[in-house]
């Protein structure tokens, strides 16, 4: 066993976090700009979007609460923040620019929440947490982009709000594979359950029968 992994185990990280119903689904920033390798995309984001189509269809079939997030800055950049300074291109994601629109394959349906944000976490400064609470969500499945950024930030905040994050590993993507894999490992050790789509749906099915 790799030395670092044995250290995590010895120190008690990576304990089992069982899925509990009711379930919700959060799709983080799967917008055109992150689907396009020439803008903010690349890596394994495209296949993650394709897998998320199946996850979203299942969530809708099961009647889960579904939420989406978008990065949206003001047209006049009046809300420019540290995120916008660190990554200036984010300031181009305004309400009506095509790059800020959710990809057509995952277009939100009636009754699904869409939160607009100007920071990595879909929870910070938005109505997401109370909306999920209102819908009774205990376990929150998470898909989206990018694994090392807005997905991770949203997962940490989901855990902090008392939800049980379940990161669907093949439904999250990053523009580079190394940070994608490193952050999946780290989230599994500290904040969330991490499972591929097939196993995630099996876990929710088992929990739903409990």
Q: Report which of 132, 133, 176, 172 is spatially closest to residue 27, judged by C-alpha positions.
A: 172
Tokens 């189509």 sit on residue: 53
Name the token pair of 106.
């995952």
| DSSP characters over 47-103 | HHHHHHHHHHHHHHHHT-EEEEEEE-B-TT-TT--HHHHHSGGGGG-BTTSGGGSBP
Phi-psi sector, 28: left (phi>0), alpha (psi -120 to 50), beta: beta
Query: Catalytic residues, which ones?
Result: 150
Q: Report which of 157, 118, 142 is spatially closest to residue 48, judged by C-alpha positions.
A: 142
Question: CA triplet 45, 50, 56: central angle to 5 degrees?
Answer: 115
CA–CA separation, 46 vs 94, rounded Å? Answer: 22
CA–CA separation, 193 vs 182, rounded Å? Answer: 15
Gyration radius of the chain over CA positions: 17
Tokens 């984001």 sit on residue: 45
């Amino acid at each position: 066993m790799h030395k670092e992994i044995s250290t995590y185990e010895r120190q008690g990280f990576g304990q089992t976090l069982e899925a509990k119903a009711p379930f919700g689904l959060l799709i983080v920033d799967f917008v055109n700009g992150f689907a396009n390798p020439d803008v903010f995309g690349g890596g394994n984001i495209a296949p993650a979007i394709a897998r998320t189509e199946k996850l979203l269809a299942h969530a809708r079939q099961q009647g889960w609460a579904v939420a989406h997030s978008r990065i949206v800055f003001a047209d006049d950049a009046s809300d420019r923040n540290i995120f916008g300074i660190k990554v200036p291109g984010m300031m181009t994601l305004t309400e009506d620019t095509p790059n800020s629109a959710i990809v057509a394959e995952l277009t939100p349906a009636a009754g699904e929440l869409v939160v607009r944000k100007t920071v990595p976490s879909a929870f910070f400064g938005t109505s997401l947490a109370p909306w999920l609470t209102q819908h009774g969500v205990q376990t929150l499945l998470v898909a989206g982009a990018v694994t090392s950024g807005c997905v991770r930030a949203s997962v940490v905040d989901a855990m902090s709000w008392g939800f049980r994050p379940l990161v669907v590993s093949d439904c999250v993507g990053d523009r580079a594979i190394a940070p994608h894999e490193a952050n999946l490992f780290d989230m599994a050790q500290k904040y969330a359950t991490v499972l591929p789509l097939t196993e995630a749906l099996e876990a929710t099915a088992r929990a739903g029968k409990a």
